[in-house]
Amino acid sequence: MTATAPADSGEATGGFGITRSSPDATAGTWVALVVVALLAVLPFVGGDSTQRTLVGILTYLSLAQMWNLLAGFAGLITIGQQAFVGVGAYTLLVTAERNGIDPFLSIVAAGLLCAVLSAPVALFAFRLRGGYFAIGTWVIAEVFRLIALEIGPLEAGNVQSLTRRNALSGYEIDQLRDLIYWSSLALAAGATLVVVLVLRSRLGLALRAVRDDEAGARGLGIDVTRTRLIVWMLASGWIGMTGALIHLNSQSINAPDAFSVLLWTALVIFIVVIGGVGSTTGPIIGVIVFWLVSDEITEWFDLDDPWRFIILGSLAALFAVFAPRGIYGWLQSWRPLQFFPVRRRLVGPGLEE
Amino acid sequence: MDWLNAVIQGILLGGLYALFATGLSLAFGVLRFVNLAHGDLAILGAYLAFSSISTFDVNVWATFGIVVPIMFAVGYIAQRGLFDFTLGEDPLPGILVSFGLGVVIQNALLVHYSATDRGLSVGSLATESIRISDDISVGWFPLIILLVAVGLLGGMQLFLSFTPLGRAFRAVSDDRDTARLMGIDHRNLYGLAMGIAFATVAVAGIFLGSRTTFAPAQGPSQLLFAFEAVVIGGLGSLWGTLLGGIVLGVAQTLGNQIDVDYGWMGGVLLGHLVFLAVLAFRPAGLLGARS
Amino acid sequence: MTDLLNVDGLDAGYGDFQALFDLSLRVAQGETVAIIGANGAGKTTLLKTVAGLVRASGGAIRFAGRDLRSLPAHKRVGMGIALVPEGRRLFGSLSVRENLLIGGHTGRRGDWTLEAVLDLFPLLKLIQRRSSATLSGGEQQMVAIGRALMSNPRLVLLDEVSLGLAPTVVKDLYAALPSVVSGGMTAVVVEQDIEQALSVADRVYCMLEGRVSLQGRPDDLDHAQITTAYFGM
């Protein structure tokens, strides 16, 4: 197995180099590509309800990868991402419904707006650490919600719909449904890809250094604040896009739900914790568990909505204490495999491959 | 005059917020643990009081005697049975377990009690007030809450400063390992601290439930208010917690007054903005300076 | 003389990092034993393991015949082991007086009362109410030693008392040592200052990389032996 795209050339360093690949990671990447391809052709093969279910799962995966990037890798444990879901929703409303802009362009606009807005948020939030940072982001999300309610023209106090006349004009119902599906696939796969790329890059290395030892990282010349800010803005923007897509799918927007901490943050956190924080595969596993509990188990046992929170929340709390690396961690201790090529290893003469 | 009245009501409201914040402040001071279930525990306390009243046919004041000891025990067990395992450098497990716990409590209350607003009755005390002038009156009940808050905080300060156990609390908070060298069982102390935190937040919850109505989804708001009171006042200062609660209370009542008079802003929002302003310009809080 | 402390084949460390390897030593009742060695030799780890702050992964520690392995740190104080930690480690939010009082938390009875400790270090009488954060190094060391004595230990472990202190201050501190051990107290003194260590000890152990490299009475050991054992050359 040869090193793929090593970061350092072998000759200058006596035959040693850094590789980010391994056999299982390469295999894992191929598997992922195949799965994405299969999912992409689903609309042609039929299965409306499967498609609908998948949109829900994929949008949650997108949110989960971003929360994991922030909390698991950047040490930014946020309970405020519902702010950007809400902003995404209302951006969609204002641009697509009120001003006739193509809804998919609106999604992109939502992402950009959220990335920009996340910078002043960081200005305040980054003054706090750990648990207080978490609550701080929650407070700021509440401020977003309350300000949205204050802006008269937004009519955020009412439930508003996306109509065929405005936002959804220009698309047939089937066409729209398929495009929403492909968008959710793009956001989920894209989120995973973005996280993998970030971790493979120098930025990712800096992030982990900062997370492990902030003072040490600073001593090495890493600009801690800038590193965190870049990841923060990137994730916030992606969350904004996902929020907009979620509401394009539901076609209904109201402030309490758009800015709901339970729907867009609590469930996401539970997903990541159960699946495995700090790993790129964890959120994928978590989303599957989430689907099982949300859709299947609650149906079998005829349970109301609060029960999925009770079950997932209890699981997450227990995992957080007794299995901090989640289901992925269990799999790892059973068989150390890597599904995505994000880890760096030293290779060279005399070293085991 | 409206404005003066708003300030006075704000100070009284601040007493309730200070009561909420006390447990959060104590848990963080002694254990470095940020309990995100804090608000939901207060609501749990209110519901336990509610059930106690219907089950045992007593009045609200008696429920203090029932709910507070129960919550103290729950807090001790929660610390030693769950939170203890999250101690360490990494804040993530503690945040996750308390957040998850909060969500579970909130939804379990929803399942058991439904989303209907409930209230605890203090009888005529709810409306009795002291007339200060034509436009200003001070409600007896809010005043009692403020006095209880001051008393509790004062009592806690005295306890920490002048008793051997209080000294042990301070030592454990300063340097856990060296405290062990003094023969202090830090796990037991952590349990006691969390027990006290749960007990005080239950007191706050019962008062909240008597002052206004309550419902399962209200927990998070109380957590945020408690947190804001602590940050505004300054981490690490008990009197700061009282001041922070009062500042927040006044900000909220003023904000509501602005809403009434001008049709925008609102109490909760202004409170949040004041919090952000303190965070931006005086991050250590009004009375704070973590030593 | 019976052994008060018996360390037998001790392995200990921090996570993946092992600091002590099959280490054995004994301290008899009433003895003052010095432990010398370079930085990183494991001297502090040894004291912390005896006190219970570091977990032993192998071997045995016996105190007055009782196996300590399963006993948590806060219970060992109750048995009569007191550690004066490296770097003093006073409680910052407690005053000098409160630091001393908390030393007596376990309530062990004995000669060392607050008055006795203040008589040992009269300087402390004047600064009782001061916050411990405002003290000089020497003052802090006095408080740290006094705090340990307040638990009326049978065995006092002193970790690098001289660290960061001026020679005159160190001399004054060690001048108080005879009063500390006069009542039959057993002491283990970890010291960087070899001369000082040899002058107060009945027996000396030298540690190197987690093991005992030399042991004996100060009179029986010559300079060359000590240097070899200290540096491992």
- Three-state DSSP state, C4: strand
Sequence-ordered list of residues with C-beta below 8 angstroms from that of B12, at least 6 positions apart, any chain? B138, B139, B142, B143, B145, B146, B249
Distance from CA of B37 to the nearest CA of C (A): 29
Closest by Cβ to B181, choosing from C51, C94, C98: C51
C61 close to C69: Cβ distance less than 8 angstroms: yes
C140 chain-B contacts, CB cut-off 8 A: none
The nearest alpha carbon in chain B to A320 belongs to B93
| Structural domain boundaries in chain A | 51-259, 261-340
Q: What is the pLDDT of residues A153-208, one digit of tens each?
A: 888 888 888 887 777 788 888 889 999 999 999 999 999 999 999 988 888 888 88
Whether the predicted pLDDT of A234 surpasses 60: yes
B264 chain-A contacts, CB cut-off 8 A: 150
Average pLDDT of span B239-247: 93
Contact: C94, B170; criterion CB under 8 Å: yes
Contact of B140 with chain A, judged by CB distance below 8 Å, is answered with no
Query: Pick from C60, C79, C84: which is nearest to C70 by CA?
Result: C60
Query: Pick from A181, A179, A158: which is nearest to A168 by CA?
Result: A179
Contact: A309, B107; criterion CB under 8 Å: yes
Closest by Cβ to C77, choosing from B177, B183, B291: B183
Question: Which pLDDT band, with edges at 50, 70 and 90, does B145 fall under?
Answer: very high
**A30 vs B7: CA distance, rounded Å:** 65
* Structure letter (DSSP) for residue A208: H
Closest by Cβ to B224, choosing from A123, A135, A262: A135
pLDDT score at B76: 97
Contact of B133 with chain C, judged by CB distance below 8 Å, is answered with no
Neighbouring chains to C with at least 3 Cβ pairs closer than 8 Å = B
The nearest alpha carbon in chain B to C92 belongs to B174
pTM of the predicted protein model: 0.88
The nearest alpha carbon in chain B to A140 belongs to B272
pLDDT score at A10: 46
* Chains C and A touching, counted as 3 or more CB pairs less than 8 Å apart: no
Q: What is the pLDDT of residues A9-67, one digit of tens each?
A: 444 566 677 777 777 677 778 888 888 888 888 888 877 888 899 999 999 999 999 99
Contact: B104, A313; criterion CB under 8 Å: yes
Closest by Cβ to B34, choosing from A130, A150, A320: A130
Q: Which domains does chain B possess?
A: 2-111+133-281 (1.10.3470)
Question: Which pLDDT band, with edges at 50, 70 and 90, does A225 fall under?
Answer: confident
Contact: B180, C75; criterion CB under 8 Å: no
H-helix segments, A126-172: 130-150
Q: What is the pLDDT of residues B194-211, one digit of tens each?
A: 999 999 999 999 999 999
pLDDT score at B249: 96
Sequence-ordered list of residues with C-beta below 8 angstroms from that of B252, at least 6 positions apart, any chain? B10, B13, B267, B268, B270, B271
Query: Pick from A321, C148, C60, A168: which is nearest to B98 by CA?
Result: A321
**A304 vs A311: CA distance, rounded Å:** 11
pLDDT score at A241: 97
C210 close to C21: Cβ distance less than 8 angstroms: yes
Whether the predicted pLDDT of C47 surpasses 80: yes
Q: Which of residues 291-320 of A touch B (CB under 8 A)?
A: 304, 306-307, 309-310, 313-314, 316-317, 320
Distance from CA of A346 to the nearest CA of B (A): 27
Please provide residue B138's backbone torsions phi and psi, each rounded to the nearest 5 degrees: -110, 120
Whether the predicted pLDDT of A351 surpasses 70: no
| Mode of pairing for the β-strands spanning C56-63 and C186-191 | unpaired
The better pLDDT of the pair C176, A141 is held by: A141
Q: What is the ipTM of this complex?
A: 0.91
Beta strands in C72-226 (DSSP E): 81-84, 155-159, 186-191, 203-208, 211-216
Contact of B89 with chain C, judged by CB distance below 8 Å, is answered with no
Q: What is the pLDDT of residues A53-112, one digit of tens each?
A: 999 999 999 999 999 999 988 889 999 999 999 999 999 999 988 888 899 999 999 999
| Mode of pairing for the β-strands spanning B137-139 and B129-131 | antiparallel
Reading phi first (left if > 0) and then psi (alpha if -120 to 50, else beta), residue B189 is in alpha
**A4 vs B179: CA distance, rounded Å:** 52
Closest by Cβ to B103, choosing from A129, A140, A313: A313
DSSP run (H or E) holding C219: none
CATH superfamily of C33-55+73-231: P-loop containing nucleotide triphosphate hydrolases (3.40.50.300)
| Mean of per-residue pLDDT scores for chain A | 87
| Structural domain boundaries in chain C | 33-55+73-231
Contact: A309, B94; criterion CB under 8 Å: no
A269 chain-B contacts, CB cut-off 8 A: 96, 99-100
Contact: C94, B291; criterion CB under 8 Å: no
Please provide residue B163's backbone torsions phi and psi, each rounded to the nearest 5 degrees: -110, 155
Question: Which pLDDT band, with edges at 50, 70 and 90, does C53 fall under?
Answer: very high
B224 close to B218: Cβ distance less than 8 angstroms: no
Sequence-ordered list of residues with C-beta below 8 angstroms from that of B207, at least 6 positions apart, any chain? B16, B19, B145, B148
